[in-house]
Amino acid sequence: MLSYVVRRVLATVPVMGIVALTVFSLLYLAPGDPAAIIAGDQATTEQIAHIRASLGLDQPFLVRFAHWLWQVVHFNLGTSVFTGQPVSGMIGQRIEPTLALMILTMLIAIALAVPLGVIAAWKQGTWIDRAIMVFAVLGFSVPVFVIGYLLAYVFGLTLRILPVQGFTPLSQGFWPFLGSLILPSLALGAIYVALLARITRAAMLEVLAQDYVRTARAKGVGQGGVLFVHALKNAANPVVTVAGLGVALLIGGTVVTETVFAIPGLGTLTANAILQRDYPVIQGVVLLFSFAYVVVNLIVDLLYSVFDPRIRL
Amino acid sequence: MSEISLPEEASVLPEILPPIRIHGRVVGFALRHPGIAIGGVLIGLMILLAIAAPWLGTVDPEALDPANMLIGVSAGHWFGTDMLGRDIYSRVLYGARVSLIVGFAVAALASAGGMAIGLVSGFVRPLDPVLMRIMDGVMAIPSILLAIALMALTQGSVGNVIIAITVSQVPQVARLVRGMVLGLREQPFVEAAIAAGTRTPRLIWRHIVPNTLAPVIVQATYICASAMIIEAILDFIGAGTPPVVPSWGNIMAGGRALWQVKPFIVFFPAFFLSVTVLAVNLLGDGLRDALDPRGEARR
């Protein structure tokens, strides 16, 4: 068990290394000379050269990479070109809405998608199955901002039952907090629901054709028992794998969702940083999201044995 | 006496099988593969709209008309005008060009690039671990974020958007092709070709590449769909093409601040984008079922 966990964790190290190298290269290749920006317009060439040397910008690529990596490991992501604040602090201030949005989206999406996929597999070939699959293709195809505006228009502007835009922090009460996140979660989650419903259906169809399902039916297990106990547990691994991989869609989608719903999270931070060409901020957010994505998929790997004891840890 | 003569009637097939062709070829194909038919027709329509945009009653999509700002849907402006008085109908039709070019270009470039990396990885074994670790690393960065980060490095232009999205999509194809190459190399027909003295370039071209094409085409279709969405997202948050370019993402970005009062600015490009992406995804699903004898087709 322990050795498996250690091996899986070690396997993510080279991946994280490549991610770090890619993200660092981004700043390295970024146009503009940070030393010249810091020195200001009136600086002489000597002053710029001095600042460059003091920042270590005259060092070779690998030396600078090692130095940067050392800083990152100590949670120092540099300072924003625009505000002058440390990037890690800016991320810390804005992580709550994003984290809340992503967790709520995953919960809602899994709660919707798994039953939909199970029902589609159970009613395979009927109009219910068709309807669910059409819905899934739509969820894949209609981009997140389209769904976002549609939901905000219907439930926010027309029906006035949920806030149109904005975010209420948890500290101002749970229900307002939840209310401000429901529409963004539904918009962001549509593609995730579609993805999970499809893979759940496919995995369930595979399992429902197995002999032990027939055995379970023969010994009188009810429909619900067969579907949700015997079949779903054995169909869980592909679903969990795709749920982990699909987090990439959520991360990408959150940039857009937060812009549509004016949520002050990491997504809007990214969108603003792009407009301001604030490279340290872009770098920090990309690094954080990629790290989170790798960790989520590591957890998925470790979850396999929970659903399938045959996979020895 | 010894001469064997074939009975005359044997050359005529007995009529045990009634003719099964109820429909014509086109209708029959469409009924068997509704996804390919519907998706293909919709994409065909969209391509026609994009090409014929100048002759479909459009005006210059970049022409400003301050006297006619924010006009609603009307006879003069079928989809209304935006806050600079530009005709949204014209911008939406010309926007189809941007989306389709980006979608098709990314699909083609990512397939070609991924195919090349996958083949090298599958045949040049010492390079395989290095290439695959790099692909893993690139895949670990969510594709929209990678495209955003790459766009931050360059000037916004359609070409740069294509490159940025392509980079984020190549690893998927590379992984897919590499897996298939490793499988194919164990196949008897490949071993036979090697035993017969086929040189590696010819082996790759004649035996490996054709056998990887079907899944790569299906993958390319999905990449085309995501590329269109990512392009629109990049434009929408201001990281893509310059705002004057008539693209669906840019039109929506322009209507963003006004969507509560003038929802039509966002609605029309959103509708066209959704329909186009839906068409490409339907085509992809249809192709997957048609080209893959196993998998989803088994229903």
A230-256 residue pLDDT tens: 888 888 888 988 888 889 889 989 998
Pick the residue from chain B with its C-alpha nearest to A260: B256
pLDDT over 80 (residue A171): yes
What mean pLDDT is predicted for residues A9-27?
Answer: 85
**pLDDT (0 to 100) of residue A116:** 93
Sequence-separated (6 or more) residues with CB below 8 Å from residue A226? A213, A216, A217
Q: Any CB–CB contact under 8 A between A249 and chain B?
A: yes
- Number of CB pairs < 8 Å for A and B? 142
pLDDT in tens, B124-133: 889 998 898 8
d(CA A217, CA A215): 5
Pairwise CB contact (< 8 Å): B141 & A15: no
Q: Any CB–CB contact under 8 A between B142 and chain A?
A: yes
**pLDDT (0 to 100) of residue A225:** 80
Contacts with A254 from chain B: Cβ below 8 Å? none
B81: β partners? B87
What are the DSSP calls for chain A, one per residue? -HHHHHHHHHHHHHHHHHHHHHHHHHHHH-SS-HHHHHH-TT--HHHHHHHHHHHTTTS-HHHHHHHHHHHHHTT---B-TTT-SBHHHHHHHHHHHHHHHHHHHHHHHHHHHHHHHHHHHHTTTSHHHHHHHHHHHHHHHS-HHHHHHHHIIIIIIIS-SS-SS----GGG-HHHHHHHHHHHHHHHHHHHHHHHHHHHHHHHHHHHTSHHHHHHHHTT--HHHIIIIIIHHHHHHHHHHHHHHTHHHHHHHHHHHHHHHT--SHHHHHHHHHHHT-HHHHHHHHHHHHHHHHHHHHHHHHHHHHH-TTS--
Q: Shortest Cα distance from B267 to chain A (angstroms)?
A: 8
CB-based contact A265:A101 (threshold 8 Å): yes
Pairwise CB contact (< 8 Å): A253 & B144: yes
pLDDT in tens, B183-208: 998 889 988 998 998 888 888 888 89
Q: What is the mean pLDDT of chain B?
A: 83
Instruction: Write out the two tokens for A78.
Output: 């540099």
ipTM above 0.90, yes or no: no
What mean pLDDT is predicted for residues A80-103?
Answer: 89
Q: Any CB–CB contact under 8 A between A298 and chain B?
A: no
Of A142, A157, A279, the CB nearest to B274: A142
Q: Where are the beta strands (DSSP E) in B182-243?
A: none
B137 against B114, higher pLDDT? B114
Instruction: Provide the whole-model pTM.
Output: 0.86
d(CA A194, CA A178): 23
Pairwise CB contact (< 8 Å): A14 & B137: yes
Pairwise CB contact (< 8 Å): B148 & A142: no
Give B46's pLDDT tier (boundaries 50, 70, 90). very high
Pairwise CB contact (< 8 Å): B259 & A149: yes
Instruction: Write out the two tokens for B126.
Output: 């010492």
pLDDT in tens, A189-228: 999 999 999 999 999 998 888 888 888 888 888 888 888 8
Q: Shortest Cα distance from B247 to chain A (angstroms)?
A: 15
Contacts with A140 from chain B: Cβ below 8 Å? 225, 277, 281
Q: Any CB–CB contact under 8 A between A245 and chain B?
A: no
Give B177's pLDDT tier (boundaries 50, 70, 90). very high
Pairwise CB contact (< 8 Å): B152 & A274: yes
pLDDT over 80 (residue A179): yes
Pairwise CB contact (< 8 Å): A18 & B285: no
Segment among A286-290, B216-220, B243-247 with least mean pLDDT: B243-247
What mean pLDDT is predicted for residues A50-63?
Answer: 76
Sequence-separated (6 or more) residues with CB below 8 Å from residue A286? A23, A26, B141, B145, B146, B148, B149
pLDDT over 60 (residue B299): no
Q: Shortest Cα distance from B58 to chain A (angstroms)?
A: 25
Contacts with A29 from chain B: Cβ below 8 Å? 153
Pairwise CB contact (< 8 Å): A26 & B278: no
What mean pLDDT is predicted for residues B48-63?
Answer: 79
Pick the residue from chain B with its C-alpha nearest to A272: B237
Contacts with B237 from chain A: Cβ below 8 Å? 255-256, 259, 270-271, 274
Secondary structure in 3-state letters for A128-173: HHHHHHHHHHHHHHCCHHHHHHHHHHHHHHHCCCCCCCCCCCHHHC
Q: What is the mean pLDDT of chain A?
A: 85
pLDDT in tens, B260-278: 777 788 888 899 999 999 9
A79: β partners? A86
